[in-house]
Amino acid sequence: MSNEKSYYMPELSKDGAIGIILLLDQEGEIRARDLLRAKNNYYLAMRLAISLKEIGLINAKKINSPRVVYTFSLTPKGKKVADKLKEIRKIIDSQ
């Protein structure tokens, strides 16, 4: 059972997680509503963003003026993950 865990990455296996990481890598910083570009349900996109924040891959910032807006960006750790994902994409596309 413990060997199975070493092959499983629950953080990245969630639908939309890789898309959010790559979107943030491309855009730098996005508003919460822009998460819909990677995950088509706002509530699920926000939950996913929060879980990515909890593992240190993204930053979340709350802006209260003039209305509440959340923005997201990659942490240095998240940028490293994004770079690796882009490397994987190149390998897949090269065949």
Q: Is pLDDT at 2 greater than 70 in this prediction?
A: no
Q: Where are the domains of the chain?
A: 9-88
pTM for this prediction = 0.85
Q: Which fold has domain 9-88?
A: Arc Repressor Mutant, subunit A (1.10.10)
pLDDT at 10: 78
Residues 38-88: pLDDT tens digits?
A: 888 999 999 999 999 999 999 999 988 788 899 999 999 999 999 999 999
75 CA to centre of own chain? 10
Query: Exposure string (b/e) for 34-68, b if CB count within 10 Å is 16 or more?
Result: bbeebbeeeeebbebbeebeeeebbeeeeeeeeee
Q: Rounded CA gap, 58 and 78, in Å?
A: 6
Identify the band that residue 8 occupies on the pLDDT scale cut at 50, 70 and 90. Answer: confident
Mean pLDDT of 23-52: 92
Task: Work out the average pLDDT over 18-40.
Answer: 93
